């Protein structure tokens, strides 16, 4: 369990500040666990469960962003950059996954929602 907690903090970048908040503990037990010092077994269990929750939440967010970027790659980049008010070269970095500015991802989610609301449904296509 302790190694899983260390991996979550060090490799998965769960966040040394978010972990104690989710576990409803102070920072001290978390930092002691990561450092390898002795900690109460109840605290370790709470930290472990919190780490699992945060990793699951992060994984779900990564999957959602991956779908969003997959959709964005099918759109014309120049018009997408103009709609987002974002530089074309930085949009390329965003679509490749090298950068993840939250404000642009939020605008990209909104753009996709507008696109999907304007897209014709299957029934409308069959009616034509």
pLDDT tens per residue, the chain (128 residues)?
777 777 777 667 777 778 888 888 888 888 888 888 888 888 888 888 888 888 888 877 788 888 888 989 998 989 889 888 888 888 888 888 788 888 888 888 888 888 878 755 555 556 65
pLDDT (0 to 100) of residue 5? 76
95/117 Cα distance (integer angstroms): 22
Tell me the domain boundaries of the chain: 1-59, 75-128
Tokens of 13: 């970048």
- Reported residue count of the chain is 128
pTM of the model: 0.56
**H, E, C per residue of 92-120:** HHHHHCCCCCHHHHHHHHHHHHHHHHHCC
91/124 Cα distance (integer angstroms): 33
DSSP category for residue 86: -
pLDDT (0 to 100) of residue 36? 81
């Amino acid at each position: 369990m302790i190694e899983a907690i260390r991996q979550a903090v060090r490799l998965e970048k769960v966040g040394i500040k978010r972990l104690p908040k989710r576990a409803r503990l102070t920072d001290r037990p978390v930092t002691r666990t990561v450092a390898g010092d002795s900690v109460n077994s109840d605290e370790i269990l709470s930290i472990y469960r919190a780490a699992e929750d945060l990793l699951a939440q992060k994984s779900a967010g990564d999957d959602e962003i991956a779908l969003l970027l997959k959709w964005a790659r099918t759109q014309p980049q120049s018009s997408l950059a103009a709609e987002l008010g974002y530089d074309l070269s930085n949009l390329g970095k965003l679509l490749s996954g090298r950068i993840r500015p939250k404000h642009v991802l939020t605008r990209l989610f909104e753009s996709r929602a507008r696109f999907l609301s304007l897209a014709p449904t299957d029934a409308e296509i069959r009616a034509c």
